Amino acid sequence: KGQQGRIDSFFKIS
Protein backbone atom coordinates (compact mmCIF):
# COMPACT_ATOMS: atom_id res chain seq x y z
CA LYS A 1 0.00 0.00 0.00
CA GLY A 2 1.35 3.42 -0.96
CA GLN A 3 1.86 6.54 1.07
CA GLN A 4 -0.51 9.49 0.58
CA GLY A 5 0.98 12.13 -1.71
CA ARG A 6 0.47 15.88 -1.32
CA ILE A 7 -0.72 18.35 -3.92
CA ASP A 8 2.28 20.62 -3.39
CA SER A 9 4.68 17.81 -4.19
CA PHE A 10 3.09 17.64 -7.68
CA PHE A 11 2.18 21.26 -8.39
CA LYS A 12 4.44 24.21 -7.72
CA ILE A 13 3.39 26.74 -5.10
CA SER A 14 3.10 30.12 -6.79
Residues in the site for other proteins, rule: CB under 8 A?
A: 1-14
> Shortest approach of other proteins to residue 8 CB, angstroms?
5
> Shortest approach of other proteins to residue 2 CB, angstroms?
4
Angle at Cα 5 formed by Cα 14 and Cα 7, nearest 5°?
Answer: 20
Distance CA(14)–CA(2), nearest Å, equals: 27
Phi, psi of 5 (to 5 degrees): -80, 170
> Shortest approach of other proteins to residue 14 CB, angstroms?
5
